[in-house]
């Protein structure tokens, strides 16, 4: 596949193969390049995890990473995203990893004969976040060995969450039972065909995975009214709620965490928490994704 932009495009076999390949990279598999392969990471929204782990994944695969800072680029002179990508492809970049505030920004870049590049979506507004979703699946697979019948609660700022949209899509395909919880104002019918919406106190003792979402203050129009302590008590994973989780249940969070809001800060280092594993797995899953799209665009460079 020359691009990986949405979890809608991935079938179960592809997801399983990516998890398997990511595990191989985690256990030391290396790639050999037959010629230099250049990658550029275009982040038009802030990022720590996704940006750094894509860069480390690229370097571990032997790719050469071209520095690209939107603030210092000709985007500031009005150059469009398409023309920016056309330029990078023309000078020899073969892999573009892009995060952009506009949902489905990548539609303007797909099926363009003048853009012979591999493309990975590193997050499109409130659209999707496939690399986060795949590293989440890798982490769940490592902890439970499979997905069939697994109960996963996705909790919090659902409407603004590209992670929720990508994860619910793939979890349903993989046979997991998805539940949603959080403020009713941040939930709507688009989620209903993927899982049931229930109060957090009804879910916490019965699910295998508590996936807590970040409250996305930057996407809220009325954020001044937000009461962090009240949110934590009503919708957060408090210490009291965490104590009611099944002994083998895990806590996940895509990061960055608002400690004391989505979950009690002390839970980040709890044995239930897989937050650090998620970030570590992100490097290996991104290696698998990069290899997959580079092989898919058949421009050579990989043995």
Q: Is 77 annotated as a binding residue?
A: yes
Which residue stretch of 85-93, 113-121, 192-200, 254-262 sits at the interface with ligand CP (rule: CB under 6 A)? 254-262
Which DSSP string do the residues of 22-68 spell out, in sequence order?
Answer: HHHHHTT----BSS--EEEEEESS--SHHHHHHHHHHHHTTPEEEP-
List 1, 47, 143, 280, residue binding ligand CP (CB under 6 A): 47
Cα distance between residue 70 and residue 296, in whole Å: 27
Query: Is residue 216 a contact point for ligand CP (CB under 6 A)?
Result: no
List 12, 20, 48, 244, residue binding ligand CP (CB under 6 A): 48
Cβ neighbours for 183, distance < 8 A, ≥ 6 positions apart:
157, 231, 234, 235
Residues in the interface with ligand CP (CB under 6 A) total: 10
Q: Is 255 annotated as a binding residue?
A: yes
Query: Is residue 132 a contact point for ligand CP (CB under 6 A)?
Result: yes
CB of residue 211 to ligand CP, shortest distance in Å: 12
* Nearest residue (CB) to ligand CP, 115 versus 155: 155
Query: Is residue 255 a contact point for ligand CP (CB under 6 A)?
Result: yes
Cβ neighbours for 72, distance < 8 A, ≥ 6 positions apart:
none
* Nearest residue (CB) to ligand CP, 126 versus 132: 132
Query: Is residue 256 a contact point for ligand CP (CB under 6 A)?
Result: yes
Give just the sign of the alpha carbon dihedral 224, 153, 247, 15: negative
Q: Is 173 annotated as a binding residue?
A: no
Query: Is residue 49 a contact point for ligand CP (CB under 6 A)?
Result: yes
CB of residue 258 to ligand CP, shortest distance in Å: 13
List 41, 50, 84, 273, residue binding ligand CP (CB under 6 A): 50
Cα distance between residue 142 and residue 94, in whole Å: 32
Cα distance between residue 158 and residue 35, in whole Å: 43
Cα distance between residue 68 and residue 138, in whole Å: 29
CB of residue 196 to ligand CP, shortest distance in Å: 25
Q: What is each CA distance from 251 to 2, 211, 243, 277, in whole angstroms?
A: 33, 6, 12, 11
Cα distance between residue 185 and residue 142, in whole Å: 34
Q: What is each CA distance from 268 to 67, 228, 278, in whole angstroms?
A: 33, 17, 12
Query: Is residue 183 a contact point for ligand CP (CB under 6 A)?
Result: no
Q: Is 165 annotated as a binding residue?
A: no
Q: Is 100 annotated as a binding residue?
A: no
Which residue stretch of 44-52, 101-109, 237-245, 266-274 sits at the interface with ligand CP (rule: CB under 6 A)? 44-52
Residues that bind ligand CP (CB under 6 A): 47-51, 123, 132, 254-256
């Amino acid at each position: 596949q020359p691009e990986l932009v949405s979890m809608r495009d991935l079938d179960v076999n592809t997801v399983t193969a990516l998890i398997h390949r990511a595990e191989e990279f985690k256990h030391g598999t290396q790639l050999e390049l037959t010629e230099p392969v250049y990658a550029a990471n275009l982040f038009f929204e802030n990022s720590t995890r996704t940006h750094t782990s894509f860069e480390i994944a690229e370097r571990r695969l032997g790719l050469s990473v071209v520095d690209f800072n939107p603030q210092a680029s000709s985007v500031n002179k009005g150059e469009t995203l398409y023309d920016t990508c056309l330029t990078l492809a023309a000078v020899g970049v073969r892999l573009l990893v892009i995060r952009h505030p506009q949902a489905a920004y990548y539609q303007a870049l797909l099926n363009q004969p003048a853009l012979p590049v591999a493309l990975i979506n590193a997050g499109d507004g409130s659209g999707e976040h496939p690399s986060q979703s795949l590293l989440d699946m890798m982490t769940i697979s490592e902890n439970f060995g499979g997905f069939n019948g697994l109960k996963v609660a996705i909790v919090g700022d659902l409407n603004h969450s590209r992670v929720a949209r990508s994860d619910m899509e793939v979890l349903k395909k993989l046979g997991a039972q998805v539940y949603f919880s959080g403020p009713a104002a941040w939930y709507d019918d688009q989620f209903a065909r993927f899982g049931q919406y229930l109060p957090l106190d009804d879910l916490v003792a019965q699910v295998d995975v508590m996936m807590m979402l970040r409250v996305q203050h930057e996407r809220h129009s009325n954020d001044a009214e937000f009461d962090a302590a009240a949110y934590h008590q009503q919708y957060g994973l408090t210490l009291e709620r965490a104590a009611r989780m099944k002994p083998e249940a895990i806590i996940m969070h895509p990061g960055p965490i608002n400690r004391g809001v989505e979950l009690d800060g002390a839970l980040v280092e709890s044995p239930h928490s897989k937050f650090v594993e998620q970030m570590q797995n992100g490097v290996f899953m991104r290696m698998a994704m990069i290899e997959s799209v580079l092989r898919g665009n058949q421009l050579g460079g990989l043995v």
